[in-house]
Amino acid sequence: MTKIYDFKQTINQEELQKTAQVLRNGGLVIFPTETVYGVGANALRKDAVDHIFEAKGRANDNPLIVHIHDFKQLDELACDISEMEKKLIDAFFPGPFTLILKKKEVVPDNVSAHLDTVGIRMPSNKIAHEILKCADVPVAAPSANISSRPSGTKIEDIKEEFDGKVDIIIDGGPSDIGIESTVVRVIDNIPTILRPGKITPEDIKDVVGIVSIDKHIFEKAEGVVRSPGMKYKHYAPKSPCTLIYSDDEKTQIDLVNENITPGTVVIGFKEHENKIYCDQFVAHGSIHNYDEISHNIFTLLRKVDTYNPTQILIEGVKKEGIGIAIMNRLIRSSNYHYIEK
Ligand code: AMP
Ligand code: MG
């Protein structure tokens, strides 16, 4: 039986202790972070980590991110941390930032999918911090969603798909950022973004003066890639999706209208609601506020499926700032059906 604890208003201390105990003892807990919800297990217990892969139906060559609450845990899990890596840690921990580091033996092979590295993140969300602190073990946690589905950013969206598969679900309200962390690996002393997120290339450049972006961010990845997660179908609603983008706003609206067929749902800018002629229009946010779009996007990708549309058209955003991360996720949601003019 899965228990749901409501921490939206206050963190109940007794339930916090129980949650920590479950994690230490090898159970599974869904918990909020500032990016998306995670499904977590004691990262030092291989058997517990195996249960995450089972619960999600996740491919076992897709490694997990390990969540920590204290800088001291870095030395337990990783070694040979360079000056550049230290600077990134100082700048972006705690926060929506994952750093890939050389792993120590103590990290089980299933966490890192047999790579010699481990992704580490220190969430800034208060509930996540309290759980990690109270459990006092590193917690491996991928996004809380059945593999290939949009990541969970609200308990209402995911409680059914995890009911009976996890021990505890912590409700902390909707995720603040709404898309997953920026994943970075320092390669030849250059911080390389393997997955874009709220921490942007500019943010990284401001700290260390240099940044590179992996070429697979907007392309289909196959075979050996630096971040195995890039190979998989991800973030996808059940109905077919097309992503549409133009630098010119009027052209973008025209493109959307040209592609509408009966039963189409459009996810687009609220400013375009009266200019797009479809059966159902759902606003992902404002053309002037990409943070709003990132906050809303995954829950909307789930919601539109409930309308049983014949197709979903999504208005894309400029690939700058957090727009890079939004487009990275939307290109995958649409299974690379992407129209740009
Ligand atoms: P998720 O936990 O669902 O947010 O996915 C974690 C992402 O981090 C995936 O895209 C993984 O490929 C990536 N990742 C985790 N650990 C590593 C690692 N050691 N090396 C490269 N990428 C990693
Ligand atoms: Mg995921």
CATH number for the domain spanning 44: value is 3.90.870.10
How many other CB atoms are there within 10 angstroms of residue 80's CB atom? 8
Calculate how far, in angstroms, residue 290's C-alpha sits from the geometric centre of ligand 2. 21
**Same-domain pairing of 74 and 205:** yes
244 C-beta closer than 6 A to ligand 1? no
Q: Determine the angle formed by the axes of helices 290-305 and 323-333, rounding to 10 degrees.
A: 20
Asked if the structure places residue 232 within a domain, the reply is: no
Query: pLDDT above 90 covers what percent of the chain?
Result: 92
Q: What is the pLDDT of residue 228?
A: 78
Asked if the structure places residue 135 within a domain, the reply is: yes
pLDDT at 205 over 80: yes
Length of the chain: 341
Burial of 228 (0-12, 13-18, 19+ CB in 10 A): middle
Q: What is the pLDDT of residue 5?
A: 98
Give me the mean pLDDT over the 256-275 stretch. Answer: 97
How many other CB atoms are there within 10 angstroms of residue 103's CB atom? 22
Q: Determine the angle formed by the axes of helices 201-208 and 83-92, rounding to 10 degrees.
A: 120
Q: What is the pLDDT of residue 225?
A: 75
Give me the mean pLDDT over the 82-109 stretch. Answer: 98
pLDDT at 158 over 80: yes
Number of domains in the chain: 2
7: containing domain: 3-218
Query: Which residue type does 86 have?
Result: K
Q: What is the pLDDT of residue 294?
A: 98
pLDDT at 8 over 90: yes
Asked if the structure places residue 227 within a domain, the reply is: no
Asked if the structure places residue 90 within a domain, the reply is: yes
Residue 255 in contact with residue 246, Cβ under 8 Å? yes
**Same-domain pairing of 208 and 264:** no
Read off the pLDDT of residues 20-57 as tens digits, 9 standing for 90 and up.
999 999 999 999 999 999 999 999 999 999 999 999 99
Q: Which two tokens stand for residue 42?
A: 């004691």
96 C-beta closer than 6 A to ligand 1? no
Give me the mean pLDDT over the 94-120 stretch. Answer: 98
Residue 180 DSSP label: P
**Same-domain pairing of 22 and 130:** yes
**Same-domain pairing of 38 and 108:** yes
- Of 167, 187, 218, the position where a domain reaches its end is 218
Residue 315 DSSP label: E
**Same-domain pairing of 245 and 135:** no
Q: What is the pLDDT of residue 226?
A: 81
**Same-domain pairing of 205 and 253:** no
What is the CATH number for 301? 3.40.50.11030
**Same-domain pairing of 34 and 117:** yes
pLDDT at 134 over 80: yes
Calculate how far, in angstroms, residue 185's C-alpha sits from the geometric centre of ligand 1. 11
**Same-domain pairing of 250 and 154:** no
Q: What is the pLDDT of residue 321?
A: 96
Q: What is the pLDDT of residue 235?
A: 81
Q: What is the pLDDT of residue 19?
A: 98
pLDDT at 211 over 80: yes
Asked if the structure places residue 224 within a domain, the reply is: no
**Same-domain pairing of 12 and 140:** yes
192 C-beta closer than 6 A to ligand 1? no
197 C-beta closer than 6 A to ligand 1? no
Residue 190 in contact with residue 180, Cβ under 8 Å? no
**Same-domain pairing of 114 and 193:** yes
Calculate how far, in angstroms, residue 229's C-alpha sits from the geometric centre of ligand 2. 8
**Same-domain pairing of 245 and 202:** no
Read off the pLDDT of residues 216-256 as tens digits, 9 standing for 90 and up.
899 887 777 787 777 777 888 889 999 999 999 999 999 99
Asked if the structure places residue 235 within a domain, the reply is: no
Cis peptide before 94 (omega within 30 of 0): yes
**Same-domain pairing of 37 and 158:** yes
Asked if the structure places residue 176 within a domain, the reply is: yes
Read off the pLDDT of residues 290-316 as tens digits, 9 standing for 90 and up.
999 999 999 999 999 999 999 999 999
Secondary structure of residue 105 in the 3-state scheme: coil
Give me the mean pLDDT over the 162-169 stretch. Answer: 98
Asked if the structure places residue 305 within a domain, the reply is: yes
